[in-house]
């Protein structure tokens, strides 16, 4: 794998809508198994494959590094939606099926068949809502609500590190996964959007108020009032989008320059310590930490942007996916 310094731009050109993940030798694998059919060996944690740091084992009395697996890129195709997480990014193809790129895909990993309405990528795993409203999850230790909310039709999803929330078709928030401080106990009411982070949650109520619950971060300092249309949570901070296009961020902002720029946005997305937004002119503006080039968004017009942990991706009107930021996370096969 070639390494690039500075701005990395990864382009997945429009083409045949192949369904699957490209493997290391350029081939592809069928993605047809449902999430609840995944075998026990798929539940290995990121630490077992060297998530962010080099691990070591003793061999012949010497310590040798274990390197993370080679990245599997997002395969070529025409995409209609994207989602970026930690070590994984996925897209919905024009066919309605889903394809993913990841550092942690291994032989035997499968994506349940579609068609899908929308997807959400998290920490080395992802979930999607199919056309029938059912959730399916895949990847490493996916935060699957299967068996918890079976038969519930969801209209929106958000999750982080084995836990998450969704909004059902009547507007109720339903949460699942590991719980530390009542973050899986949402308030009653009708909601339009929900965002889940490590141990806290925030949602936009039907009356356009911002409502937060859970532990540690809670939502202290979150803006009050009404007129909000979206909320996105990052690591120790959050941002809300108002109906006039203004973005307000709160939380641990000082050390990461996470104050949102005074620009009118149509959508926003938060990563670990950076955020991006799509302006009303369809351009991308990012802010926050830039140690891996996360803020160096490409010029042009886009219909969607999604910020991950160390890289982000955007979708063009023609169905091309362009990614930038950390070169190892963003899979340099298309940027080399």
* pLDDT tens figures, 202-250: 999 999 999 999 876 555 788 999 999 999 998 889 999 999 999 999 9
* pLDDT for the residue numbered 195: 95
* pLDDT for the residue numbered 326: 80
pLDDT, tens digit (0-9, with 9 covering 90-100), for 149-175: 667 888 999 987 677 889 999 999 998
pTM to 2 decimal places: 0.75
C-alpha–C-alpha distance, residues 304 and 269, integer Å: 10
Average pLDDT, the chain: 76
C-alpha–C-alpha distance, residues 213 and 167, integer Å: 15
Of the two residues 143 and 24, the one the predictor is more confident about is 143
For the residues 312-333, what does the mean pLDDT come to? 79
Q: Is residue 108 over pLDDT 60? A: no
Q: Is residue 25 over pLDDT 90? A: no
328 pLDDT tier (thresholds 50, 70, 90): low
327 pLDDT tier (thresholds 50, 70, 90): low
Q: Is residue 200 over pLDDT 80? A: yes
* pLDDT for the residue numbered 125: 84
In the numeric block, which tokens belong to residue 104?
């942690």
148 pLDDT tier (thresholds 50, 70, 90): low
54 pLDDT tier (thresholds 50, 70, 90): very low
For the residues 36-63, what does the mean pLDDT come to? 36
Of the two residues 198 and 19, the one the predictor is more confident about is 198
Q: Is residue 31 over pLDDT 50? A: no
* pLDDT for the residue numbered 7: 37
For the residues 107-131, what does the mean pLDDT come to? 84
Q: Is residue 316 over pLDDT 90? A: yes
Of the two residues 36 and 144, the one the predictor is more confident about is 144
């Amino acid at each position: 794998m070639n390494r690039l310094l500075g701005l990395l731009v990864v382009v997945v050109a429009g083409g045949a809508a192949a369904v699957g993940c490209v493997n290391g030798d350029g081939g592809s694998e069928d993605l047809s198994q449902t999430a609840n059919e995944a075998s026990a060996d798929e539940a290995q944690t990121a630490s077992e494959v060297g998530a962010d740091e080099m691990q070591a084992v003793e061999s012949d009395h010497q310590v040798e590094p274990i390197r993370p697996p080679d990245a599997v890129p997002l395969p070529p195709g025409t995409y209609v939606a994207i989602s970026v997480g930690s070590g994984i990014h996925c897209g919905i193809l024009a066919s309605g099926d889903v394809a993913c790129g990841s550092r942690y895909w291994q032989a035997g990993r499968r994506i349940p068949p579609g068609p899908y309405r929308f997807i959400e990528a998290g920490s080395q795993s992802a979930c999607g809502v199919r056309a029938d409203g059912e959730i399916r999850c895949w990847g490493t230790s996916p935060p699957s609500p299967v068996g918890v909310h079976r038969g519930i039709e969801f209209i929106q999803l958000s999750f982080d590190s084995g836990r998450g929330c969704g909004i059902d078709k009547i507007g109720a928030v339903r949460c699942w996964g590991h719980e530390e401080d009542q973050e899986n106990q949402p308030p009653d009411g009708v909601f339009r959007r929900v965002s889940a982070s490590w141990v806290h949650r925030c949602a936009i109520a039907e009356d356009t108020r911002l409502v937060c619950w859970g532990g540690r971060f809670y939502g202290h300092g979150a803006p009050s009032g009404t007129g909000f249309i979206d909320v996105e949570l990052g690591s120790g901070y959050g941002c809300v989008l108002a109906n006039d296009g203004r973005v307000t961020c709160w939380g641990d902002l000082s050390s990461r320059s996470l104050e949102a720029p005074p620009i009118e946005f149509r959508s926003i997305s938060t990563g670990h310590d950076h955020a991006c937004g799509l302006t009303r002119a369809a351009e991308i503006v990012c802010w926050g930490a830039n140690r891996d080039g996360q803020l160096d968004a490409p010029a042009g017009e886009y219909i969607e942007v999604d910020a991950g942990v160390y890289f982000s991706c955007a979708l063009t009107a023609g169905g091309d996916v362009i990614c930038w930021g950390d070169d190892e996370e963003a899979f340099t096969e298309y940027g080399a």
